[in-house]
Amino acid sequence: MDSKDNPFMDAVTRDNQREKKRQALLRAAAKMFNQKGYHTTSLEDVAADLGVTKPTIYHYLGNKEAVLLACVRTGLQQLLTAAEQASDSDGNGADRLEFFLREYARINMDDFGRCVIRSRPESLSEDGARKFQSLKREIDVQMRKLIGDGIDDGSIESQSPKLLAFTLAGALNWPARWYDPNGELTPELVSREMVRILANGFRPRR
């Protein structure tokens, strides 16, 4: 059967096109939230940036809070995927933690990761804030698990896994605020060097 006569092929193509449009709208919204802040960004701003109408955004994403939650969910899913990849990677616990931390920092310098760090739950409704906090807690759980694995195999020294997780996250959240994508430093270089410095604090002294 010719592909143009195959209704299933057409449906797949339509779904792919819809998802591409949705992702373009999401990234444009994330960039604007990062630049202007959630409260001062309107859906009209996002629509104008892409040359579409406000109803188009409602059609693909919903209201402004739904758009922010979708942006945050995208960034947090990237972090969760990085944690899963780290857990499956080679090496000891410290090696796997470093793998995750490099990805954590790199993602936080991209549009969706920056949106996670720059957004505040108090900007949202009670239900939206609860969903936001729940998603963020899962990242903390995954980081502490990697730290715990390293402590168990002796490749990480820490008297308080909770404090170590807070310290690492605090340090690696900051690039979301100061990193300049138009500057000389690449996300890969920044993430690699920051994690190298931090690892000197949690790897055992020989």
User: Which has the higher per-residue pLDDT, 100 or 46?
Assistant: 100
Give CA 22 to chain center in angstroms.
17
> What are the structural domains of the chain?
3-202 (1.10.357.10)
Task: Say how far apart CA 46 and CA 21 lie, in whole Å.
Answer: 13
Q: How confident is the model at residue 19 (pLDDT cuts 50, 70, 90)?
A: confident
Q: What is the pLDDT of residues 47-95, one digit of tens each?
A: 888 888 888 888 888 899 999 999 999 999 999 999 999 999 999 999 9
pTM of the predicted model over 0.75: yes
Determine the pLDDT at residue 152.
Answer: 96
Determine the pLDDT at residue 16.
Answer: 80
